[in-house]
Structure 1
């Protein structure tokens, strides 16, 4: 295995650029998904982005890895992931409809509020956005606001959000989620190309980048892109967010410890994914996309997502998670074993010695 420091000085720039491209994609995906969480929630955003990452990324990795994974198991798993994406979109739409009904019910109960108009027909029923703009947060019951899933809870949470999402188009949230999924789908194949050089970028005799060298360049590109994007969004925010500055950011350290912990976990996870991909195939290593099963647990139990929703929403949520679990299991079952250069040489040598073995053990009659 080439030395890490030695590889830093070798002419491996085509593969270095591929590794840095992977870091670029991951950085764009991570920034995008933070906006997606606000619009569609932790549970749906993670499942949809991970499923897209598998549908596109795993298919690319399968062909890049010379089909070492079992196609008869892998692609049914990919189909299950695609189904999970469609179910995730349905869950988001159904839950948004449930929230509108909760807010309208809350609106009708505020008879004493002067700003509440009389509703005589369905056409006159206010939108969720209108309700949020007209209802005073002081009207929210403190006790009800503690109960996840109630209209009071939704209003209280929305009043604290930097990104106002109630009443916004469903297309906006899902579009951001889809973009994040495509970014996540491309970083793993880019890293695969960087370490295995399937497109023969390197000159003859130059060794492939080892995992650690490629991961160094991958992380470097990720950090530079993340810093650039986040500083830019401080001064030129999206989605009508208030402007800020680097000075204000450094002054406000609230939640920074959690952010650093999340970054460290992301880095360790990516490193282990790449090590596993080099050994068993990057297509099977995409099983790390099982992370939505954990994030859904957090979203439902700790953040109150989908509480007090309709039976239809619950049914769609369960179907999405079941389909996703089946897909992850199939992905793991499709794992193969990468044939290294040494193993190929040994196999060829073994084949070449077989005729001689047959010759030495043969008997001849004259």
Structure 2
């Protein structure tokens, strides 16, 4: 079994996790904006998320030598370690609930604001809990000023959401007023200029609307799966805060699973290694996602259309991108936990949150271009 024991190895794991955990939200957001039902996307995502955990467990969890206090993955499956297993599975449940909630919050609130608020709540609550669970191995004078900054970010993110909502309402109101004025009594137009005006009008109609404009918002609303017009913005913010609370609890639960700070294991039973804990963590994450999303197929929320399991199986539009998002999230979480075992989960949480802040902001701007380029490359190689 491979264990990360050095600070350098922990940093390398967290740096690799930065890329993975910062990328997958943008992929799911873009699929929703292109009209794919979030239930279909999340089911696909959950499959490869679990597959990533299985791959990590049977590779890193099996290679190398083992010790009595650090058995390999398969050996530990047969041991009486259910108290720790339950903590790991509880962590997977709250993570799955958080990820599922953010999929709807991204549409209602926006990718950047959602990630800033949820990840800031994660630091404020999760990193504080992990600091004490890790026996204070991280420096408080460095950690807690950062926690205070993230607490401020929660307040600022909420204010930005309110400002964006008011701004969008104003744009749509002005657009409707301008449209009504344009449809009023028309003046006579000279015959020799009518063709040019029609051509210009056609060009304006076919031109892609500028991002952030009222026409862009209307065009996006027509294409996306989750319709946001007419929905109270407080709903999106409430979902965001719920997701942040879930995210703040999964890492402390995983910490308890691997380190047994509350001494729940029987005498002589080794603690869960990170790979075994991550396996159980991902299994529970998959089970809760499967149950909830199959239910949402037939009883959708937020005005989404009904679907079915057969319709899901036949929906291949964007499926490979959802699979990719699941792999990225699964490997990212695994690397985060591997690094957190050596560097402390409080530090791992803080680094991961910083990455999500940066990547969500950048991908919120350039995700469309990246998706189009990669899609063209994929079609080229397939053909």
The answer to whether the superposition gives a TM-score over 0.5 is: yes
Q: Which has the higher contact order (CA 8 A, sep 6+)?
A: 2
Partner secondary structure for residue 317 of structure 2? coil
Runs of 4+ in 1 over 2 A off after TM superposition: 111-114, 138-146, 300-304
Asked whether 1:83 is paired with 2:152, we answer: yes
Match of residue 288 from structure 1 = 352
Structure 1 CA distance, aligned partners of 2:74 and 2:163? 54
Alignment of 1:3-14 (within 5 A): 3-14=72-83
Match of residue 220 from structure 2 = 157
Query: Could you tell me which of 256, 260, 271 is aligned with 2:319?
Result: 256
Q: Which has the larger helix fraction?
A: 2
Task: Give unpaired runs (5+ residues) of structure 2.
Answer: 1-69, 185-200, 370-383
Match of residue 297 from structure 1 = 362
Structure 2 CA distance, aligned partners of 1:148 and 1:68? 46
CA deviation after TM superposition for structure 1 residue 10, in Å: 0.8
Asked whether 1:206 is paired with 2:269, we answer: yes
**Rg larger in structure:** 1
Asked whether 1:63 is paired with 2:132, we answer: yes
Match of residue 296 from structure 2 = 233
Q: Is the 8 A contact 1:64 1:198 kept in 2?
A: yes
Deviations 1:221-240 (A, max 9, x none): 11111111111100110011
CA deviation after TM superposition for structure 1 residue 163, in Å: 1.7
Deviations 1:120-169 (A, max 9, x none): xxxxxxxxxxxxxxxxxx99953564311111111111112222212422
Q: Is the 8 A contact 1:57 1:188 kept in 2?
A: yes
- Return closer, same or farther for 1:218/1:140 CA change in 2, 3 Å cut-off: farther
CA deviation after TM superposition for structure 1 residue 8, in Å: 0.7
Match of residue 61 from structure 2 = none
Partner secondary structure for residue 175 of structure 1? helix
Task: Give unpaired runs (5+ residues) of structure 1.
Answer: 115-137, 305-366
Q: Is the 8 A contact 1:145 1:156 kept in 2?
A: no
Moved more, 226-235 or 294-303: 294-303
Deviations 1:58-102 (A, max 9, x none): 010001111111111111100101111111111111111111111
* TM, length-normalised to structure 2: 0.71
Match of residue 24 from structure 1 = 93
Match of residue 340 from structure 2 = 277
* TM, length-normalised to structure 1: 0.74
Structure 2 CA distance, aligned partners of 1:113 and 1:152? 17
Match of residue 71 from structure 2 = 2
Structure 1 CA distance, aligned partners of 2:270 and 2:203? 65
Number of residue-to-residue matches in the alignment: 281
Match of residue 259 from structure 2 = 196
Partner secondary structure for residue 108 of structure 1? helix
Structure 2 CA distance, aligned partners of 1:154 and 1:273? 36
CA deviation after TM superposition for structure 1 residue 201, in Å: 0.5
Asked whether 1:173 is paired with 2:213, we answer: no
Structure 2 CA distance, aligned partners of 1:303 and 1:181? 26
- Return closer, same or farther for 1:169/1:65 CA change in 2, 3 Å cut-off: same
Partner secondary structure for residue 126 of structure 2? helix
Q: Is the 8 A contact 1:36 1:174 kept in 2?
A: yes
Partner secondary structure for residue 166 of structure 1? coil
Q: Is the 8 A contact 1:196 1:208 kept in 2?
A: yes
Asked whether 1:104 is paired with 2:173, we answer: yes
Match of residue 308 from structure 2 = 245
